[in-house]
Chain A
């Protein structure tokens, strides 16, 4: 049962829209982070049920953030979904190999967003 979602994205507008989709459509509590480091901190402090993680971020990018999350026992088990504007077939598989549950391609459909998240997380 998903109650709280952490959204990590360096684009302010994407954060805004994703946050609204998560709270208004998914009816989840939301936590926001603008970069990989902040994302790891907030994951530790706020214990979300799911992390929505952007791939392309400056400094610590999505995959690097995932590695950090997996290294810490406190955050290692939180399911992570990559939000990415890149959707090369090979890349999707490599994300899963890194430990992500799945990938949602940007731009995403708001209407089905919450169901998509639940399906990816539920399927692990």
Chain B
């Protein structure tokens, strides 16, 4: 008996056709979806390729030499400029690992041991800027920071190196120029100040009364010119960061007492007295004593200049958290509102131009601010019911984390 497959019926055929059609439709939809996804993926890849190419170009053409190192020390990115500023070939800087690249860079510096030590001392989260002097005499500005994603993910560390030799040369020439100018200005002033001083003392004969007054006027203004030249030189040095501060942790009170004693004669012709406000805190500050006295002299002489006759200027100090605040209080006319924002700027002086207030150079507060900030502090003032208090805050030398950071923006670790 033959098994007989029953011949498909018309209904079966119809159903089969329908199923095939559905399948075909589904496939078509699927195919379209795949093509769509592929297109999107391709577009995404194009975008990524574009971004990567853009970043590579930006990195490659950056004026800075760029070195990126991953979390386990693998070199992630170098650019042409990196090789250039370090005086190496492109092949040489394409070391796979930072550990291999580091000694290569160190050998290019004037102080390889120092360079390696400072690099090793970097904390993982540390960001810093330093100057690196190369063996061939050039100077690089080095800035390094950790690379962190927006979500805090740690990608490693990046270094930027820029050759600043030209800028340093310009700066050096400017310094030489200012030095030469100040010398040229001071030499003729020596003869003028000397002549007037001798006349004033009567050392070249007695002068008629009017001539004597005239000599006094001339000498006062010469003295002012001399102070101005000194101040201009000073502020230039401070701003260029070339002030070598000799820091030491010192008792504050003796310094305040010394400042007061030294300023006392200044107040005598103005009929202004000075007083130390007790009690004073037992605290040490990390300062260069000469520079601190310079700031105190500036604040105290200003206070006296703007004090009415018969008044007293008070000098005091008090702890404020991690800081100690030194205050100089006068009972003068206060600060004019139009000067409020500009008080610490250069060449701003009180509007009262009477004789007792003309002797300033207009740079004192500017210099004081620069010094205080270099000492890691802040300077400011506040109006009193009568008069004004100028103050500056300095970190307590005996508290941890105080004082000026060992690496400031010039990388002058040794100077501080």
Chain A interfacial positions (CB closer than 8 Å to B): 11, 13-14, 16-18, 20-21, 24-25, 56, 85-86, 88-90, 106-111
Q: Is B142 in the interface zone, CB < 8 Å from A?
A: no
A86 to B, closest residue via Cβ: B183
Known: A56-B183, A85-B182, A86-B183. A106 touches B203 (CB 8 A): no
CB-defined A-B contacts under 8 Å, sample of 23: A11-B187, A13-B188, A14-B194, A17-B195, A18-B194, A21-B194, A24-B204, A25-B203, A85-B182, A85-B186, A85-B190, A89-B244, A106-B189, A106-B190, A107-B192, A107-B194, A107-B222, A107-B226, A108-B193, A110-B193, A110-B198, A110-B201, A110-B203
Distance of A14 Cα from B194 Cα, bound (Å): 8
CB distance from A64 to the nearest CB of B (A): 17
Which residues of A sit under 8 angstroms from B188, Cβ to Cβ? Answer: 13
B237 to A, closest residue via Cβ: A88
Contact (Cβ within 8 A) B191 A86:
no
Q: Is B179 in the interface zone, CB < 8 Å from A?
A: yes
Distance of A24 Cα from B204 Cα, bound (Å): 8
Distance of A24 Cα from B191 Cα, bound (Å): 16
Which of the residues A14, A88, A89, A90 comes within 8 Å of B190, measured between beta carbons? Answer: A14
A110 to B, closest residue via Cβ: B197
Distance of A13 Cα from B187 Cα, bound (Å): 9
Contact (Cβ within 8 A) B187 A85:
yes
Which residues of A sit under 8 angstroms from B204, Cβ to Cβ? Answer: 20, 24
Distance of A25 Cα from B194 Cα, bound (Å): 12
CB distance from B11 to the nearest CB of A (A): 110
Which of the residues B179, B186, B198, B200 comes within 8 Å of A106, measured between beta carbons? Answer: B186
Known: A25-B203, A56-B183. A107 touches B193 (CB 8 A): yes
CB distance from B411 to the nearest CB of A (A): 19
CB distance from B172 to the nearest CB of A (A): 14
Which residues of B sit under 8 angstroms from A56, Cβ to Cβ? Answer: 183
Distance of A107 Cα from B197 Cα, bound (Å): 11
B194 to A, closest residue via Cβ: A17
Give 8 A-B pairs besides A13-B190, A17-B198 with Cβ atoms closer than 8 angstroms.
Answer: A17-B190, A20-B198, A20-B204, A86-B183, A106-B187, A106-B189, A109-B193, A110-B194
CB distance from B206 to the nearest CB of A (A): 13
Which residues of B sit under 8 angstroms from A14, Cβ to Cβ? Answer: 187, 190-191, 194
Contact (Cβ within 8 A) B190 A107:
yes
Distance of A16 Cα from B198 Cα, bound (Å): 11
Which residues of A sit under 8 angstroms from B195, Cβ to Cβ? Answer: 17
Interface string of B278-318 (1 = CB under 8 A from A): 00000000000000000000000000000000000000000
Interface residues of B in 188-228 (CB under 8 A from A): 188-195, 197-198, 200-201, 203-204, 222, 226
Contact (Cβ within 8 A) A108 B182:
no
Contact (Cβ within 8 A) B201 A107:
no
Which residues of B sit under 8 angstroms from A89, Cβ to Cβ? Answer: 244
Which of the residues A20, A85, A86, A88 comes within 8 Å of B194, measured between beta carbons? Answer: A20
Which among B179, B186, B187, B188 has the greatest number of chain A C-beta atoms within 10 A?
B187
Distance of A51 Cα from B222 Cα, bound (Å): 27
Which residues of B sit under 8 angstroms from A25, Cβ to Cβ? Answer: 198, 201, 203
A13 to B, closest residue via Cβ: B191
Contact (Cβ within 8 A) B197 A111:
yes
Which residues of A sit under 8 angstroms from B222, Cβ to Cβ? Answer: 107
A55 to B, closest residue via Cβ: B183
CB distance from B202 to the nearest CB of A (A): 9
Contact (Cβ within 8 A) A86 B179:
yes
CB distance from B296 to the nearest CB of A (A): 19
CB distance from B100 to the nearest CB of A (A): 40
Interface residues of B in 159-200 (CB under 8 A from A): 179, 182-183, 186-195, 197-198, 200
Which of the residues B193, B194, B226, B244 comes within 8 Å of A90, measured between beta carbons? Answer: B244
B243 to A, closest residue via Cβ: A89
Distance of A71 Cα from B200 Cα, bound (Å): 41
Known: A88-B179, A107-B226, A109-B197. A24 touches B190 (CB 8 A): no
Which residues of A sit under 8 angstroms from B203, Cβ to Cβ? Answer: 20-21, 24-25, 110
B179 to A, closest residue via Cβ: A86
Contact (Cβ within 8 A) B201 A111:
yes
Contact (Cβ within 8 A) B190 A21:
no
A106 to B, closest residue via Cβ: B190
Distance of A80 Cα from B189 Cα, bound (Å): 23
Which residues of A sit under 8 angstroms from B201, Cβ to Cβ? Answer: 24-25, 110-111
Which residues of A sit under 8 angstroms from B226, Cβ to Cβ? Answer: 107
CB distance from B385 to the nearest CB of A (A): 40
